[in-house]
Structure 1
Amino acid sequence: MKFSFAFLFLMLGAVMNVQPEREKASLLYPYGLDQHDHKNPKLDDGTSQQLPITVPFTFYGKKHQTLYVNNNGVISFGTRVHQYTPEPFPLADGRPFVAPYWGDVNNVLGGDIFYREITDPALLERITKNINQYFPEIPFTATWGFVATWDHVAYYGSTTNKGNTFQAVLTTNTKTSFIILNYWDIQWTTGVASDGDPETGLGGTPAHAGFNSGDDTHFYNIPGSETEAIINITKTSNVNVPGRWVFQVDDFKVTGVPTEVPKVANRNDCWL
Structure 2
Amino acid sequence: MFVGAGMKPSFVVLFLMLGAVVNVRPVQGEASVLYPYGPDQGDQKNPKLDDGTSEQVALAVPFTFYSQEYQSLYVNNNGVISFDSQVSEYTPDPFPLADGRPFVTPYWADVNNVAGGDVFYRETTDPTLLALLTKNINQYFPDVSYTATWAFVATWDHVAYYGTETDKGNTFQAVLTTNTQMSFIILNYKDIQWTTGVASGGDPETGLGGTPAHAGFNSGDDKNFYNIPGSQTEAIINVTQTSNVNVPGRWVFRVDEFKVTGVPTEAPKVANSNDCWL
Structure-1-length-normalised TM-score: 0.90
> After superposition, where does 1:55-66 map in structure 2 within 5 Å?
55-66=61-72
What is the alpha-carbon distance in structure 1 between the residues aligned to residue 30 and residue 37 of structure 2? 11
Is the 1:24–1:184 Cα contact (8 Å) retained in structure 2?
A: no
- State whether structure 2 residue 246 is matched by structure 1 residue 240: yes
The residue number in structure 1 matching 2:174 is 168
The residue number in structure 1 matching 2:235 is 229
What is the alpha-carbon distance in structure 1 between the residues aligned to residue 140 and residue 30 of structure 2? 19
RMSD over equivalenced CA pairs, Å: 1.2
What is the alpha-carbon distance in structure 1 between the residues aligned to residue 101 and residue 272 of structure 2? 35
Deviates most, 216-225 or 69-78? 216-225
Query: CA offsets, 1:92-140, max 9 Å, x none?
Result: 3121001000000000000000000122101100000000000010111
The residue number in structure 1 matching 2:124 is 118
Structure with greater helix percent: 1
Letter aligned with residue 106 of structure 2 = P
The residue number in structure 2 matching 1:152 is 158
Report the CA distance between 1:271 and its aligned residue. Answer: 3.5
Deviates most, 137-146 or 210-219? 210-219
What is the alpha-carbon distance in structure 1 between the residues aligned to residue 223 and residue 234 of structure 2? 26
Tell me the secondary structure at the aligned position of residue 259 of structure 2: coil
What is the alpha-carbon distance in structure 1 between the residues aligned to residue 159 and residue 45 of structure 2? 13
Report the CA distance between 1:170 and its aligned residue. Answer: 0.4
The residue number in structure 2 matching 1:183 is 189
What is the alpha-carbon distance in structure 2 between the residues aligned to residue 267 and residue 70 of structure 1? 29
What is the alpha-carbon distance in structure 1 between the residues aligned to residue 140 and residue 76 of structure 2? 28
Report the CA distance between 1:24 and its aligned residue. Answer: 4.8
- State whether structure 2 residue 205 is matched by structure 1 residue 199: yes
What is the alpha-carbon distance in structure 2 between the residues aligned to residue 177 and residue 217 of structure 1? 20
Letter aligned with residue 75 of structure 1 = I
What is the alpha-carbon distance in structure 2 between the residues aligned to residue 93 and residue 102 of structure 1? 17
Query: Residues 235 and 24 from structure 1, CA distance in 2 versus in 1: closer, same or farther, beyond 3 angstroms?
Result: farther
What is the alpha-carbon distance in structure 1 between the residues aligned to residue 211 and residue 261 of structure 2? 27
Deviates most, 118-127 or 182-191? 118-127
- State whether structure 2 residue 25 is matched by structure 1 residue 31: no
> After superposition, where does 1:10-25 map in structure 2 within 5 Å?
24-25=30-31
The residue number in structure 1 matching 2:146 is 140
Instruction: Give the unaligned 5+ runs of structure 1.
Output: 1-22
Letter aligned with residue 179 of structure 2 = N
Report the CA distance between 1:253 and its aligned residue. Answer: 1.2
Query: Residues 62 and 270 from structure 1, CA distance in 2 versus in 1: closer, same or farther, beyond 3 angstroms?
Result: closer
Tell me the secondary structure at the aligned position of residue 260 of structure 2: coil
The residue number in structure 1 matching 2:264 is 258
Report the CA distance between 1:205 and its aligned residue. Answer: 0.0
Structure-2-length-normalised TM-score: 0.88
- State whether structure 2 residue 74 is matched by structure 1 residue 74: no
Report the CA distance between 1:222 and its aligned residue. Answer: 0.4
Instruction: Give the unaligned 5+ runs of structure 2.
Output: 1-28
Is the 2:64–2:255 Cα contact (8 Å) retained in structure 1?
A: yes
Query: CA offsets, 1:202-239, max 9 Å, x none?
Result: 00000000111122222100010000000000001111
The residue number in structure 1 matching 2:11 is none
Letter aligned with residue 116 of structure 1 = R
| Equivalent position to 1:128, from 115, 118, 134 | 134
Report which of the two structures shows the higher radius of gyration computed on alpha carbons: 1
Letter aligned with residue 151 of structure 2 = G
Aligned residues: 250
